[in-house]
Structure 1
């Protein structure tokens, strides 16, 4: 995914700053591993965490397929919040010291090739007569290629693409407020403080336009990741620690409010409020620990591969995974555990193919085209 290298940039002229040791550039491979963990959490929820409904893939409730594990799989949606924390960290790191054009090109070239391929692939598979899921209309499928289907109210090809719409809005806010004027510690702190306040006001104002722009439900996780990057640059940064703390306190509130549904007996899944808080805390603590270098020993090359597979796996795992589950479990009669494991393996293999034959050749070409002098 995004290259995770440290690009220290001064906040003021060098003559006015005390000398600090320059950090060597390094890749945070443990962060790649955490990405895959978050993606597998989401997949576990989609495959086996919706204990309150009968799914078409299993033709029964996942609660019957996984009597014990479905309780833990139900916390899988919180992998999205962990993704957002990681994204806040990585986007701040990759956008620091980078001109707006380069930042825009890096984001578009990173997101779109695999996304386009996933939209085409899922649309084609769902159009097959043997597949029991309904494909979106050709017109809606074409709109999905723009990544603007969510605000336009168009049927989605990929169930997970609502998270990409949140990511795009974060990129836009960060680009306008930090990258365009030039990243500095002071500007990043003001961005975090301003967005936190704007999100709180948005929640109280109940204005749909403000909600779209400031995303109060997801803002704390992006902002928390940005704060973690400040601590990554200087672990003594009190403001950075303050941003992390405030973001966690607000973020866990929104996570509990949206995912705790004990009063609804027919809900997709049931979770405890304490369990939700603990998973959110895990996300913040894990990213912070990696940023502080506590997992620098986890420098295995396979983690980089895991990070590269995470995004394409995340895009295709849900709908195509259901097709695989139905084929293996219902048509071939494989047991639930083997079906679950083979489906995860099949989606990882497909993710590798997308990374190898779509992302690797197209991402650098698209980036070069977007950064080419006009």
Structure 2
């Protein structure tokens, strides 16, 4: 399988993680009543757009997962995904469950049955609640991995442009007339973002055909349309906010266009490596655990800003521990078990 590291992707992954943290700690946690206060008004007015970091993650996945699938057998691909996803995920479920139940915020607690189903990463298939709502995006990613595995299994990767065209047509139909089964099974809502990443990878790899450009711009347009539609129907956004959402949504394909043209190149370093490496465990650990600790620290009389800074530091430290002591060793075991040998 391809293993080249793209430092610009590391930077975007780190940026997406920071956006999501800002959204949860400076906006959503307070709005939903899970934290006593958000950040300063100015920061909160900016942080409310941080949810778009998840959309950036999806575009990154399109690029990176398609890269990792190059030359891979279906079994090797499954082994690499299982080894990458499950160790930190399992650890995060345990830690989040313990902290949330200790923190005594009833609205964040899920039944033990749902906790157990979360270990599959497909709890939503059984109608179970996520242990941490941030896990919803992992469910989307999981469906995407299944689709890539099917392409490998039935030798359809060589027809990827035809597959993407069909996926985007389904997504367009869903945009015009939303259909929950299509959104659930085929992730039609998020297909354009994955296709932005895949198309960018293909263009960067040398495909300069009219068809790949048409796919890229179709995916980009549709991704912005979905972002606009969601923002325009949100009671939390004024008209000026919707314009900001559109601008940020346009920035995602624009960045991948630059990557595809070799016009966004950066050098790597240890700080960037670790920031990108820890984004996954940080994403898994930050939301509900963060709400609990910010609330408890605020009750002790600390200033809200200091509470948030302390919790961010704790989450990154916990993510480092999960990565080094659980993710690394367990991923090797899982890879061998799934790959065989």
**Under a length normalisation based on structure 1, what TM-score does the superposition of the two structures give?**
0.84
Higher mean Cα deviation, 195-204 or 138-147? 195-204
Q: Residue 175 of structure 1 corresponds to which residue in structure 2?
A: 149
Residues of 2 paired with 1:29 and 1:232: CA distance?
14
The question of 1:30 aligning with 2:4 is answered no
Q: Residue 213 of structure 2 corresponds to which residue in structure 1?
A: 241
Residues of 1 paired with 2:87 and 2:325: CA distance?
10
Residues of 1 paired with 2:195 and 2:306: CA distance?
39
Residues of 1 paired with 2:21 and 2:256: CA distance?
20
Equivalence map 1:106-145=2 (5 Å): 106-128=80-102, 130-133=103-106, 134-145=108-119
1:316 to 273, 285, 288: 285
Q: Residue 349 of structure 1 corresponds to which residue in structure 2?
A: 317
Q: Residue 273 of structure 1 corresponds to which residue in structure 2?
A: 242
Q: Residue 369 of structure 1 corresponds to which residue in structure 2?
A: 337
1:160 to 113, 134, 141: 134
Q: 1:235 to 1:189 in 2, by over 3 A?
A: closer
1:359 to 318, 324, 327: 327
Residues of 2 paired with 1:143 and 1:52: CA distance?
28
**Shift, 1:284, TM fit:** 1.8
Residues of 2 paired with 1:334 and 1:294: CA distance?
45
Equivalence map 1:53-132=2 (5 Å): 53=31, 55-58=33-36, 60=37, 62=38, 65-128=39-102, 130-132=103-105
Counterpart contact for 1:41–1:73, Cα < 8 Å:
yes
RMSD, aligned CA: 2.2
**Shift, 1:203, TM fit:** 4.4
Residues of 2 paired with 1:255 and 1:4: CA distance?
32
Higher mean Cα deviation, 335-344 or 97-106? 335-344
Counterpart contact for 2:29–2:35, Cα < 8 Å:
no
Higher mean Cα deviation, 274-283 or 35-44? 274-283
Q: Residue 42 of structure 1 corresponds to which residue in structure 2?
A: 20
The question of 1:201 aligning with 2:169 is answered no
Residue-by-residue CA offset, 1:47-84 (whole Å, 9 max, x unaligned) = 112398362322x4x3xx41111111010110011000
Secondary structure at 2:244 match in 1? helix
Counterpart contact for 2:20–2:54, Cα < 8 Å:
yes
Residue-by-residue CA offset, 1:275-326 (whole Å, 9 max, x unaligned) = 1111112222223333443343322232121111000000110001111211
Aligned residue pair count: 339
Q: 1:180 to 1:123 in 2, by over 3 A?
A: same
Higher helix share: 2
Q: Residue 293 of structure 1 corresponds to which residue in structure 2?
A: 262
**Shift, 1:179, TM fit:** 5.4
1:282 to 236, 239, 251: 251
Counterpart contact for 1:4–1:28, Cα < 8 Å:
no
Counterpart contact for 1:81–1:221, Cα < 8 Å:
yes
Q: 1:56 to 1:210 in 2, by over 3 A?
A: closer
Q: Residue 148 of structure 1 corresponds to which residue in structure 2?
A: 122
Counterpart contact for 1:97–1:182, Cα < 8 Å:
no
Gaps of 5+ in 2: none
Gaps of 5+ in 1: 6-25
Residues of 1 paired with 2:261 and 2:282: CA distance?
28
Residue-by-residue CA offset, 1:243-294 (whole Å, 9 max, x unaligned) = 22111110111112123346x3xx4x66722211111122222233334433
**Shift, 1:208, TM fit:** 3.1
Counterpart contact for 2:73–2:152, Cα < 8 Å:
no
Residue-by-residue CA offset, 1:92-133 (whole Å, 9 max, x unaligned) = 1110111111111111111111111111111111222x5334
Secondary structure at 1:55 match in 2? coil
